[in-house]
Amino acid sequence: MHITQAMPPTFKDKLSSDAFLITSEVSPPKGTCLSEVLADVQLLKGQFDALNVTDNQRAVMRMSPLAVSKALLDSGHEVVMQLTCRDRNRLALQSDLLGAYSMGIRNICIMTGDYTTKGDHPKAKPVYDMDSVQLLAMVRKMNQGYDLAGNAIENPPDFVVGAVSNTDPSNTMQMLKLKKKAKMGLEFIQTQAVYDTEQFKSFVEIADELKVPVIAGIIPLKSARMAGFMNNNVPGINVTTDIIERMEAAEEAVEEGLKIAAESIRDLKRLCRGVHIMPIGKHTNTPKLLEMSGIGKKNS
Amino acid sequence: MIISSGKSFEEIMELLKDEDDIFIVGCNACAAKLHLGGEEDVLQMCKQLEDVGKHVVGWVLPSAACSVASYDSLVDKNPDIKDAKAILVMGCGSGVSVVSGVVDVPVYPSNNTESLGGRSHGKVLGELCALCGSCAVHEFGGICPKGQCPKQLLNGPCGGSMKGKCEVDPEKDCVWALIYSRLEMIGRLDLLEKVWACEEES
Protein backbone atom coordinates (compact mmCIF):
# COMPACT_ATOMS: atom_id res chain seq x y z
CA MET A 1 0.00 0.00 0.00
CA HIS A 2 1.33 3.39 -0.98
CA ILE A 3 1.06 6.37 1.26
CA THR A 4 1.14 9.46 -0.87
CA GLN A 5 1.89 12.81 0.58
CA ALA A 6 0.61 15.77 -1.45
CA MET A 7 3.61 17.79 -2.63
CA PRO A 8 3.12 21.57 -2.62
CA PRO A 9 2.64 22.83 -6.17
CA THR A 10 5.84 23.91 -7.91
CA PHE A 11 6.40 27.05 -9.98
CA LYS A 12 5.93 24.83 -13.03
CA ASP A 13 2.58 23.56 -11.72
CA LYS A 14 1.46 27.10 -11.02
CA LEU A 15 2.47 28.29 -14.50
CA SER A 16 0.00 25.84 -15.99
CA SER A 17 -2.74 26.75 -13.49
CA ASP A 18 -4.86 29.89 -13.26
CA ALA A 19 -2.96 31.18 -10.25
CA PHE A 20 -1.75 34.78 -10.24
CA LEU A 21 2.00 34.45 -9.85
CA ILE A 22 4.20 36.57 -7.67
CA THR A 23 7.95 36.47 -8.17
CA SER A 24 10.70 38.69 -6.88
CA GLU A 25 14.40 39.12 -7.11
CA VAL A 26 17.52 38.62 -5.02
CA SER A 27 20.96 40.05 -5.80
CA PRO A 28 23.88 37.87 -4.71
CA PRO A 29 26.32 39.54 -2.31
CA LYS A 30 29.72 40.90 -3.24
CA GLY A 31 31.32 38.69 -0.67
CA THR A 32 31.21 35.20 0.72
CA CYS A 33 28.53 35.49 3.42
CA LEU A 34 24.88 34.79 2.60
CA SER A 35 23.33 35.62 5.95
CA GLU A 36 22.21 39.14 4.94
CA VAL A 37 20.56 37.90 1.73
CA LEU A 38 18.82 35.07 3.57
CA ALA A 39 17.62 37.42 6.32
CA ASP A 40 16.27 39.86 3.72
CA VAL A 41 14.20 37.20 1.94
CA GLN A 42 13.10 35.58 5.19
CA LEU A 43 10.52 38.40 5.23
CA LEU A 44 9.14 37.05 1.99
CA LYS A 45 8.87 33.38 2.89
CA GLY A 46 5.62 31.88 1.67
CA GLN A 47 4.67 35.11 -0.09
CA PHE A 48 6.30 34.35 -3.43
CA ASP A 49 5.99 31.63 -6.02
CA ALA A 50 9.66 31.99 -6.88
CA LEU A 51 12.65 34.23 -6.31
CA ASN A 52 14.92 35.17 -9.20
CA VAL A 53 18.63 35.16 -8.48
CA THR A 54 20.51 37.62 -10.67
CA ASP A 55 23.66 36.77 -12.62
CA ASN A 56 26.32 39.47 -12.22
CA GLN A 57 23.57 42.01 -12.74
CA ARG A 58 24.57 45.15 -14.63
CA ALA A 59 27.93 43.42 -15.24
CA VAL A 60 28.94 43.97 -11.63
CA MET A 61 30.83 40.97 -10.20
CA ARG A 62 29.01 39.19 -7.38
CA MET A 63 28.65 35.69 -5.99
CA SER A 64 27.63 33.00 -8.47
CA PRO A 65 23.83 32.71 -8.84
CA LEU A 66 24.33 28.94 -8.66
CA ALA A 67 25.57 29.15 -5.06
CA VAL A 68 22.91 31.65 -4.01
CA SER A 69 20.13 29.63 -5.66
CA LYS A 70 21.23 26.53 -3.79
CA ALA A 71 21.26 28.40 -0.46
CA LEU A 72 17.76 29.75 -1.13
CA LEU A 73 16.49 26.28 -2.03
CA ASP A 74 17.95 24.94 1.20
CA SER A 75 16.06 27.68 3.07
CA GLY A 76 12.81 26.58 1.52
CA HIS A 77 12.41 29.12 -1.31
CA GLU A 78 11.65 28.21 -4.89
CA VAL A 79 14.13 29.89 -7.23
CA VAL A 80 14.50 31.05 -10.80
CA MET A 81 18.19 31.16 -11.60
CA GLN A 82 19.08 33.86 -14.11
CA LEU A 83 21.68 33.07 -16.72
CA THR A 84 23.27 35.57 -19.09
CA CYS A 85 25.27 35.05 -22.27
CA ARG A 86 27.94 37.55 -21.22
CA ASP A 87 30.32 35.59 -18.99
CA ARG A 88 30.30 31.98 -20.13
CA ASN A 89 30.92 30.19 -23.39
CA ARG A 90 28.77 27.23 -24.46
CA LEU A 91 30.83 24.75 -22.43
CA ALA A 92 30.54 26.75 -19.22
CA LEU A 93 26.83 27.46 -19.75
CA GLN A 94 26.04 23.79 -20.23
CA SER A 95 28.14 22.59 -17.31
CA ASP A 96 26.59 25.21 -15.00
CA LEU A 97 23.13 24.15 -16.17
CA LEU A 98 23.85 20.50 -15.38
CA GLY A 99 25.27 21.53 -12.01
CA ALA A 100 22.22 23.71 -11.29
CA TYR A 101 19.81 20.89 -12.04
CA SER A 102 21.76 18.45 -9.88
CA MET A 103 21.44 20.92 -6.99
CA GLY A 104 17.69 21.08 -7.37
CA ILE A 105 17.33 24.25 -9.42
CA ARG A 106 14.39 23.72 -11.77
CA ASN A 107 13.63 27.17 -13.18
CA ILE A 108 15.91 29.38 -15.22
CA CYS A 109 15.50 32.75 -16.86
CA ILE A 110 17.73 33.60 -19.78
CA MET A 111 18.97 36.97 -20.97
CA THR A 112 21.74 38.47 -23.11
CA GLY A 113 23.36 40.37 -20.24
CA ASP A 114 24.49 43.99 -19.92
CA TYR A 115 27.78 44.72 -21.66
CA THR A 116 31.01 44.43 -19.66
CA THR A 117 31.84 48.12 -20.02
CA LYS A 118 28.68 48.94 -18.01
CA GLY A 119 29.96 47.19 -14.90
CA ASP A 120 32.84 47.23 -12.45
CA HIS A 121 35.28 45.26 -14.60
CA PRO A 122 35.05 47.20 -17.88
CA LYS A 123 38.12 45.48 -19.35
CA ALA A 124 36.59 41.99 -18.92
CA LYS A 125 36.38 39.95 -22.11
CA PRO A 126 32.73 39.88 -23.16
CA VAL A 127 31.84 36.32 -24.20
CA TYR A 128 28.47 36.28 -26.01
CA ASP A 129 29.37 32.91 -27.53
CA MET A 130 25.64 32.52 -28.13
CA ASP A 131 22.69 34.88 -27.98
CA SER A 132 19.58 34.47 -25.83
CA VAL A 133 17.61 32.75 -28.61
CA GLN A 134 20.42 30.26 -29.16
CA LEU A 135 20.80 29.70 -25.42
CA LEU A 136 17.08 28.94 -25.17
CA ALA A 137 17.44 26.46 -28.04
CA MET A 138 20.37 24.85 -26.25
CA VAL A 139 18.41 24.43 -23.00
CA ARG A 140 15.54 22.87 -24.92
CA LYS A 141 17.97 20.44 -26.50
CA MET A 142 19.50 19.60 -23.10
CA ASN A 143 16.00 18.96 -21.78
CA GLN A 144 15.57 16.52 -24.66
CA GLY A 145 18.71 14.67 -23.64
CA TYR A 146 21.42 16.14 -25.86
CA ASP A 147 24.18 18.68 -25.47
CA LEU A 148 24.66 21.39 -28.07
CA ALA A 149 26.99 19.19 -30.12
CA GLY A 150 24.42 16.38 -30.17
CA ASN A 151 26.06 14.07 -27.62
CA ALA A 152 23.70 12.23 -25.29
CA ILE A 153 23.27 13.59 -21.75
CA GLU A 154 22.70 10.99 -19.06
CA ASN A 155 19.74 11.78 -16.80
CA PRO A 156 18.92 14.96 -18.72
CA PRO A 157 17.52 18.00 -16.93
CA ASP A 158 13.94 19.17 -17.20
CA PHE A 159 14.20 22.93 -16.78
CA VAL A 160 11.33 25.36 -16.83
CA VAL A 161 12.68 28.09 -19.06
CA GLY A 162 11.80 31.76 -19.15
CA ALA A 163 13.17 34.89 -20.75
CA VAL A 164 12.87 38.64 -20.36
CA SER A 165 11.35 41.28 -22.56
CA ASN A 166 10.77 44.99 -22.83
CA THR A 167 7.13 45.91 -23.22
CA ASP A 168 7.08 48.62 -25.87
CA PRO A 169 5.01 47.09 -28.68
CA SER A 170 6.19 49.79 -31.12
CA ASN A 171 9.74 48.45 -30.85
CA THR A 172 9.39 46.11 -33.79
CA MET A 173 12.79 44.48 -33.50
CA GLN A 174 12.36 43.75 -29.79
CA MET A 175 8.98 42.16 -30.47
CA LEU A 176 10.45 40.12 -33.30
CA LYS A 177 13.15 38.85 -30.98
CA LEU A 178 10.53 37.92 -28.40
CA LYS A 179 8.73 35.91 -31.06
CA LYS A 180 11.97 34.07 -31.83
CA LYS A 181 12.43 33.34 -28.12
CA ALA A 182 8.88 31.99 -27.93
CA LYS A 183 9.60 29.69 -30.86
CA MET A 184 12.34 28.10 -28.77
CA GLY A 185 9.78 26.94 -26.23
CA LEU A 186 9.40 29.65 -23.61
CA GLU A 187 7.39 28.84 -20.51
CA PHE A 188 7.25 32.35 -19.07
CA ILE A 189 8.26 35.92 -19.80
CA GLN A 190 9.34 38.34 -17.08
CA THR A 191 9.19 41.92 -18.27
CA GLN A 192 11.02 45.15 -17.64
CA ALA A 193 9.25 47.34 -15.06
CA VAL A 194 5.83 48.49 -16.26
CA TYR A 195 4.51 51.98 -15.51
CA ASP A 196 2.43 52.57 -18.62
CA THR A 197 -0.52 50.21 -18.31
CA GLU A 198 -2.02 51.27 -21.66
CA GLN A 199 1.18 50.44 -23.49
CA PHE A 200 1.39 47.19 -21.56
CA LYS A 201 -2.09 46.21 -22.76
CA SER A 202 -0.89 46.30 -26.37
CA PHE A 203 2.18 44.30 -25.40
CA VAL A 204 0.02 41.62 -23.79
CA GLU A 205 -1.95 41.28 -27.04
CA ILE A 206 1.29 40.37 -28.81
CA ALA A 207 2.36 38.02 -26.01
CA ASP A 208 -1.08 36.36 -26.01
CA GLU A 209 -0.54 35.33 -29.62
CA LEU A 210 2.68 33.65 -28.50
CA LYS A 211 0.80 31.79 -25.78
CA VAL A 212 3.46 32.48 -23.17
CA PRO A 213 2.48 33.54 -19.62
CA VAL A 214 3.58 37.11 -18.93
CA ILE A 215 4.85 38.18 -15.51
CA ALA A 216 4.97 41.99 -15.40
CA GLY A 217 7.90 43.77 -13.78
CA ILE A 218 7.26 46.15 -10.87
CA ILE A 219 9.83 48.55 -9.43
CA PRO A 220 8.37 50.74 -6.67
CA LEU A 221 9.52 54.33 -7.18
CA LYS A 222 11.30 56.06 -4.31
CA SER A 223 11.39 59.60 -5.70
CA ALA A 224 10.49 61.68 -8.73
CA ARG A 225 14.21 61.94 -9.43
CA MET A 226 14.47 58.14 -9.61
CA ALA A 227 11.63 58.11 -12.17
CA GLY A 228 13.40 60.69 -14.33
CA PHE A 229 16.67 58.83 -14.01
CA MET A 230 15.10 55.55 -15.12
CA ASN A 231 13.38 57.18 -18.08
CA ASN A 232 16.69 58.56 -19.30
CA ASN A 233 18.99 55.69 -18.42
CA VAL A 234 17.19 52.37 -18.19
CA PRO A 235 16.26 50.84 -21.53
CA GLY A 236 12.65 49.80 -21.91
CA ILE A 237 11.28 51.85 -18.99
CA ASN A 238 8.63 54.49 -19.55
CA VAL A 239 7.42 56.19 -16.36
CA THR A 240 4.42 58.23 -17.50
CA THR A 241 4.10 61.98 -16.85
CA ASP A 242 1.15 61.60 -14.48
CA ILE A 243 3.13 59.18 -12.31
CA ILE A 244 6.10 61.56 -12.23
CA GLU A 245 3.74 64.41 -11.25
CA ARG A 246 2.29 62.32 -8.44
CA MET A 247 5.77 61.55 -7.16
CA GLU A 248 6.73 65.24 -7.33
CA ALA A 249 3.61 66.27 -5.42
CA ALA A 250 3.89 63.57 -2.76
CA GLU A 251 4.91 64.46 0.78
CA GLU A 252 5.97 60.89 1.50
CA ALA A 253 7.63 59.84 -1.75
CA VAL A 254 8.40 56.24 -0.76
CA GLU A 255 4.81 55.74 0.41
CA GLU A 256 3.46 57.26 -2.81
CA GLY A 257 5.76 54.98 -4.83
CA LEU A 258 4.34 51.94 -3.05
CA LYS A 259 0.81 53.22 -3.62
CA ILE A 260 1.47 53.65 -7.35
CA ALA A 261 3.02 50.17 -7.52
CA ALA A 262 0.03 48.67 -5.67
CA GLU A 263 -2.39 50.36 -8.10
CA SER A 264 -0.36 49.03 -11.03
CA ILE A 265 -0.45 45.51 -9.59
CA ARG A 266 -4.25 45.71 -9.27
CA ASP A 267 -4.50 46.82 -12.92
CA LEU A 268 -1.98 44.27 -14.14
CA LYS A 269 -3.77 41.48 -12.35
CA ARG A 270 -6.50 41.77 -14.94
CA LEU A 271 -4.06 41.82 -17.84
CA CYS A 272 -1.41 39.19 -17.26
CA ARG A 273 -0.39 36.09 -15.34
CA GLY A 274 1.68 37.62 -12.57
CA VAL A 275 4.00 40.29 -11.27
CA HIS A 276 7.74 40.29 -10.69
CA ILE A 277 8.68 42.68 -7.90
CA MET A 278 12.14 44.22 -8.05
CA PRO A 279 12.68 46.70 -5.23
CA ILE A 280 15.78 48.88 -5.43
CA GLY A 281 17.72 47.79 -2.36
CA LYS A 282 16.26 45.59 0.36
CA HIS A 283 12.87 43.90 0.59
CA THR A 284 11.80 45.84 3.73
CA ASN A 285 8.72 47.32 2.04
CA THR A 286 7.86 44.32 -0.15
CA PRO A 287 5.43 42.57 2.28
CA LYS A 288 3.65 45.92 2.73
CA LEU A 289 3.37 46.33 -1.04
CA LEU A 290 1.82 42.86 -1.37
CA GLU A 291 -0.71 43.74 1.30
CA MET A 292 -1.54 47.10 -0.30
CA SER A 293 -2.03 45.36 -3.67
CA GLY A 294 -4.42 42.83 -2.20
CA ILE A 295 -2.28 39.95 -3.41
CA GLY A 296 -0.77 38.95 -0.09
CA LYS A 297 -2.50 35.65 -0.74
CA LYS A 298 -0.06 33.37 0.90
CA ASN A 299 -0.39 34.53 4.49
CA SER A 300 -2.87 31.85 5.32
CA MET B 1 40.51 47.65 -45.82
CA ILE B 2 42.33 47.23 -42.52
CA ILE B 3 41.59 50.08 -40.14
CA SER B 4 44.54 51.26 -38.09
CA SER B 5 45.39 54.29 -36.04
CA GLY B 6 48.84 55.81 -35.66
CA LYS B 7 50.78 55.42 -32.45
CA SER B 8 51.90 58.73 -30.99
CA PHE B 9 55.43 59.77 -31.91
CA GLU B 10 56.37 59.57 -28.23
CA GLU B 11 55.26 55.93 -28.17
CA ILE B 12 57.21 55.16 -31.34
CA MET B 13 60.28 56.81 -29.79
CA GLU B 14 59.85 54.61 -26.73
CA LEU B 15 59.82 51.52 -29.00
CA LEU B 16 62.93 52.74 -30.83
CA LYS B 17 64.82 54.15 -27.84
CA ASP B 18 67.62 51.57 -28.07
CA GLU B 19 67.64 51.42 -31.87
CA ASP B 20 69.43 53.38 -34.55
CA ASP B 21 70.10 53.03 -38.30
CA ILE B 22 66.42 52.64 -38.91
CA PHE B 23 64.84 51.64 -42.21
CA ILE B 24 61.19 52.45 -42.81
CA VAL B 25 58.78 50.22 -44.74
CA GLY B 26 55.59 52.02 -45.69
CA CYS B 27 52.45 50.47 -47.08
CA ASN B 28 50.76 51.82 -50.16
CA ALA B 29 47.48 50.01 -49.49
CA CYS B 30 45.19 50.51 -46.49
CA ALA B 31 47.68 52.45 -44.35
CA ALA B 32 48.30 54.92 -47.20
CA LYS B 33 44.56 55.52 -47.56
CA LEU B 34 44.39 56.28 -43.83
CA HIS B 35 47.44 58.61 -44.14
CA LEU B 36 49.45 56.32 -41.88
CA GLY B 37 51.86 54.65 -44.33
CA GLY B 38 51.87 56.40 -47.74
CA GLU B 39 54.81 58.28 -49.24
CA GLU B 40 54.08 61.57 -47.52
CA ASP B 41 53.65 59.82 -44.16
CA VAL B 42 56.90 57.89 -44.57
CA LEU B 43 58.83 61.06 -45.47
CA GLN B 44 57.31 62.84 -42.50
CA MET B 45 58.36 59.96 -40.21
CA CYS B 46 61.92 60.07 -41.62
CA LYS B 47 62.10 63.78 -40.82
CA GLN B 48 60.65 63.41 -37.34
CA LEU B 49 63.11 60.64 -36.47
CA GLU B 50 66.07 62.59 -37.83
CA ASP B 51 64.95 65.69 -35.95
CA VAL B 52 65.33 63.78 -32.70
CA GLY B 53 68.75 62.44 -33.69
CA LYS B 54 67.92 59.01 -35.11
CA HIS B 55 69.73 57.96 -38.28
CA VAL B 56 67.32 56.78 -40.96
CA VAL B 57 69.18 54.64 -43.51
CA GLY B 58 66.38 54.68 -46.05
CA TRP B 59 62.81 53.74 -46.80
CA VAL B 60 60.71 51.80 -49.22
CA LEU B 61 57.06 51.87 -50.18
CA PRO B 62 55.84 48.40 -51.25
CA SER B 63 52.41 48.20 -52.87
CA ALA B 64 51.32 46.47 -49.66
CA ALA B 65 53.47 45.67 -46.61
CA CYS B 66 51.45 42.47 -46.10
CA SER B 67 52.48 41.21 -49.56
CA VAL B 68 56.26 41.66 -49.45
CA ALA B 69 57.55 38.59 -51.32
CA SER B 70 61.10 38.38 -49.96
CA TYR B 71 64.06 40.27 -48.53
CA ASP B 72 65.49 40.51 -52.04
CA SER B 73 62.38 42.28 -53.27
CA LEU B 74 62.98 44.97 -50.62
CA VAL B 75 66.68 45.17 -51.56
CA ASP B 76 65.69 45.60 -55.22
CA LYS B 77 63.59 48.61 -54.25
CA ASN B 78 66.20 50.14 -51.94
CA PRO B 79 69.57 48.44 -51.24
CA ASP B 80 70.08 50.74 -48.22
CA ILE B 81 68.02 48.25 -46.23
CA LYS B 82 71.26 46.23 -45.94
CA ASP B 83 72.54 48.90 -43.49
CA ALA B 84 69.43 48.73 -41.30
CA LYS B 85 69.73 47.68 -37.67
CA ALA B 86 65.98 48.05 -37.11
CA ILE B 87 62.91 48.41 -39.28
CA LEU B 88 59.80 50.48 -38.63
CA VAL B 89 56.77 49.25 -40.57
CA MET B 90 54.06 51.83 -41.24
CA GLY B 91 51.33 49.31 -41.98
CA CYS B 92 48.95 47.07 -40.11
CA GLY B 93 49.83 44.09 -37.91
CA SER B 94 49.84 41.81 -40.95
CA GLY B 95 52.39 44.05 -42.66
CA VAL B 96 54.62 44.05 -39.57
CA SER B 97 54.35 40.26 -39.38
CA VAL B 98 55.14 39.66 -43.05
CA VAL B 99 58.12 42.03 -43.03
CA SER B 100 59.38 40.40 -39.79
CA GLY B 101 59.33 37.09 -41.64
CA VAL B 102 61.74 38.23 -44.38
CA VAL B 103 64.36 40.24 -42.43
CA ASP B 104 66.81 39.39 -39.66
CA VAL B 105 66.69 42.62 -37.65
CA PRO B 106 64.06 43.78 -35.11
CA VAL B 107 60.85 45.11 -36.65
CA TYR B 108 58.54 47.66 -34.95
CA PRO B 109 54.98 48.84 -35.69
CA SER B 110 54.10 52.52 -36.04
CA ASN B 111 50.36 51.80 -36.08
CA ASN B 112 47.73 50.07 -33.94
CA THR B 113 45.56 47.70 -35.99
CA GLU B 114 41.90 47.94 -35.11
CA SER B 115 39.48 46.24 -37.43
CA LEU B 116 38.36 45.33 -40.91
CA GLY B 117 36.42 48.29 -42.19
CA GLY B 118 36.32 50.73 -45.04
CA ARG B 119 36.22 54.34 -46.13
CA SER B 120 33.29 55.89 -47.91
CA HIS B 121 31.82 59.37 -48.33
CA GLY B 122 35.06 60.68 -46.83
CA LYS B 123 34.51 58.78 -43.59
CA VAL B 124 36.52 55.95 -42.10
CA LEU B 125 34.18 53.09 -41.17
CA GLY B 126 35.52 50.64 -38.61
CA GLU B 127 34.46 47.12 -37.64
CA LEU B 128 32.40 46.28 -40.69
CA CYS B 129 33.42 42.63 -40.73
CA ALA B 130 34.34 40.17 -37.97
CA LEU B 131 36.33 37.89 -40.33
CA CYS B 132 34.21 34.93 -39.16
CA GLY B 133 34.92 32.80 -42.21
CA SER B 134 31.31 32.12 -43.16
CA CYS B 135 29.89 35.21 -44.77
CA ALA B 136 26.14 35.76 -44.57
CA VAL B 137 26.13 39.56 -44.69
CA HIS B 138 23.46 39.52 -47.42
CA GLU B 139 21.01 38.08 -44.88
CA PHE B 140 21.33 41.28 -42.86
CA GLY B 141 21.03 43.80 -45.68
CA GLY B 142 24.79 44.13 -46.00
CA ILE B 143 25.27 45.18 -42.37
CA CYS B 144 26.96 42.41 -40.42
CA PRO B 145 25.85 42.12 -36.77
CA LYS B 146 28.87 39.94 -36.01
CA GLY B 147 31.12 42.78 -37.08
CA GLN B 148 29.09 45.72 -35.85
CA CYS B 149 27.08 44.62 -32.79
CA PRO B 150 29.35 44.58 -29.71
CA LYS B 151 27.50 41.46 -28.51
CA GLN B 152 27.59 39.90 -32.00
CA LEU B 153 23.88 39.08 -31.72
CA LEU B 154 22.47 37.31 -34.77
CA ASN B 155 18.82 37.00 -33.77
CA GLY B 156 17.95 40.62 -33.06
CA PRO B 157 18.86 43.40 -30.64
CA CYS B 158 19.54 43.04 -26.93
CA GLY B 159 17.33 44.83 -24.44
CA GLY B 160 19.99 47.46 -23.87
CA SER B 161 19.42 49.73 -26.84
CA MET B 162 17.64 53.01 -26.11
CA LYS B 163 15.92 55.15 -28.73
CA GLY B 164 17.65 53.21 -31.49
CA LYS B 165 21.13 53.76 -30.02
CA CYS B 166 23.66 51.14 -28.92
CA GLU B 167 23.91 50.19 -25.23
CA VAL B 168 27.70 50.13 -25.46
CA ASP B 169 28.19 53.40 -27.36
CA PRO B 170 25.12 55.66 -27.25
CA GLU B 171 26.69 57.81 -29.98
CA LYS B 172 26.23 54.92 -32.39
CA ASP B 173 23.00 53.64 -33.90
CA CYS B 174 22.00 50.16 -32.77
CA VAL B 175 23.13 47.96 -35.64
CA TRP B 176 19.75 46.20 -35.56
CA ALA B 177 17.99 49.52 -36.18
CA LEU B 178 20.25 49.97 -39.21
CA ILE B 179 19.61 46.41 -40.41
CA TYR B 180 15.87 46.98 -40.09
CA SER B 181 15.97 50.22 -42.13
CA ARG B 182 18.11 48.66 -44.80
CA LEU B 183 15.96 45.53 -45.14
CA GLU B 184 12.84 47.69 -45.24
CA MET B 185 14.40 49.73 -48.04
CA ILE B 186 15.20 46.68 -50.16
CA GLY B 187 11.86 45.04 -49.38
CA ARG B 188 13.31 42.08 -47.49
CA LEU B 189 11.97 42.43 -43.94
CA ASP B 190 11.11 38.73 -44.20
CA LEU B 191 14.79 37.96 -43.61
CA LEU B 192 14.38 39.16 -40.02
CA GLU B 193 12.21 36.15 -39.21
CA LYS B 194 15.04 33.67 -39.67
CA VAL B 195 16.25 31.99 -36.48
CA TRP B 196 20.04 31.71 -36.47
CA ALA B 197 21.19 28.55 -34.72
CA CYS B 198 24.63 28.05 -33.15
CA GLU B 199 27.12 26.69 -35.66
CA GLU B 200 27.69 23.62 -33.53
CA GLU B 201 24.05 22.65 -33.38
CA SER B 202 23.33 19.38 -35.11
Residue among A117, A177, A192 minimizing CB distance to B155: A177
Q: If we measure between CA atoms, which residue out of A235, A123, A234 comes closest to residue B164?
A: A235
Residue among A132, A177, A235 minimizing CB distance to B162: A235
Give A164→chain B minimum CA distance, Å: 9
Q: Give chain B's end-to-end CA distance (angstroms, integer).
A: 35
Contact check, Cβ <8 Å, B180/A180 = no
Residue among B160, B192, B198 minimizing CB distance to A134: B198
Instruction: Check pLDDT > 80 for residue A5.
Output: no
Chain B within 8 Å of A230 (Cβ-Cβ)?
no
Q: How confident is the prediction along chain B (202 residues), in pLDDT tens digits per residue?
A: 999 999 999 999 999 999 999 999 999 999 999 999 999 999 999 999 999 999 999 999 999 999 999 999 999 999 999 999 999 999 999 999 999 999 999 999 999 999 999 999 989 998 999 999 999 999 999 999 999 999 999 999 999 998 899 999 999 999 999 999 999 999 999 999 999 999 876 5
Give A153→chain B minimum CA distance, Å: 15
Give B159→chain A minimum CA distance, Å: 7
Contact check, Cβ <8 Å, A132/B155 = yes
Concatenated DSSP letters for B65-134? Answer: GGG---HHHHHHH-GGGGG-SEEEE-S-HHHHHHHHTT-SS-EEESEEEEEEEEEETTEEEEEEE---SS
Contacts of B161 in chain A (CB under 8 A): 235
Give the dihedral sign, CA A214/A188/A131/B186: negative
Chain A within 8 Å of B188 (Cβ-Cβ)?
no
pLDDT of A44 reads 86
Give B170→chain A minimum CA distance, Å: 11
Query: Quick one: closest CA in B to A180, which residue?
Result: B195
Instruction: Compute the distance between CA of residue A81 and CA of residue A53 in angstroms, rounded to an integer.
Output: 5
pLDDT of A1 reads 54
A140 backbone φψ class: left, alpha, beta (φ>0; ψ -120 to 50): alpha
DSSP letter, residue A151:
-
Specify the amino acid at residue B98: V
Chain B within 8 Å of A138 (Cβ-Cβ)?
yes
Instruction: Check pLDDT > 70 for residue A298.
Output: no
Residue among B156, B198, B201 minimizing CB distance to A180: B156
Instruction: Compute the distance between CA of residue A23 and CA of residue A187 in angstroms, rounded to an integer.
Output: 15
Contacts of B130 in chain A (CB under 8 A): none
Residue A3: pLDDT band by 50, 70, 90 thresholds? low
Write down the ipTM of this complex: 0.92
Burial call A120-130: b when 16+ CB within 10 Å, e when fewer: eeeebebbbbb
Instruction: Check pLDDT > 70 for residue A144.
Output: yes
CA angle A49, A53, A58 (to 5 degrees): 135
Chain A within 8 Å of B196 (Cβ-Cβ)?
yes
Instruction: Compute the distance between CA of residue B57 and CA of residue A284 in angstroms, rounded to an integer.
Output: 75
Suggest the residue from A57, A177, A190 to mutate for an interface test with chain B (most B CBs closer than 10 A).
Answer: A177
Contact check, Cβ <8 Å, A176/B167 = no
pLDDT of A300 reads 37
Residue A122: pLDDT band by 50, 70, 90 thresholds? very high
Query: Quick one: closest CA in B to A237, which residue?
Result: B162
Mean pLDDT of A114-136: 97
Contact check, Cβ <8 Å, A115/B180 = no
Contact check, Cβ <8 Å, A133/B180 = no
pLDDT tens column, A69-96 = 999 999 999 999 999 999 999 999 999 9
Q: Which residues share a beta bridge with B165? A: B162, B173
Query: Quick one: closest CA in B to A191, which residue?
Result: B159
Distance set, CA B55 to CA A60, B48, B91, B108, B162 (Å): 51, 11, 21, 16, 54
C-alpha dihedral, A42 to A48 to A50 to A54, nearest 10°: -60
Give A114→chain B minimum CA distance, Å: 7
Suggest the residue from A140, A176, A234 to mutate for an interface test with chain B (most B CBs closer than 10 A).
Answer: A176
pLDDT tens column, A165-222 = 999 999 999 999 999 999 999 999 999 999 999 999 999 999 999 999 999 999 999 9
Residues 6 or more apart whose Cβ sits within 8 Å of residue A257? A220, A221, A222, A223, A247
Instruction: Check pLDDT > 80 for residue A4.
Output: no
- Please check whether residue A227 is in contact with residue A239, taking contact to mean a CB–CB distance below 8 angstroms: yes
Contacts of B200 in chain A (CB under 8 A): 90, 148-149
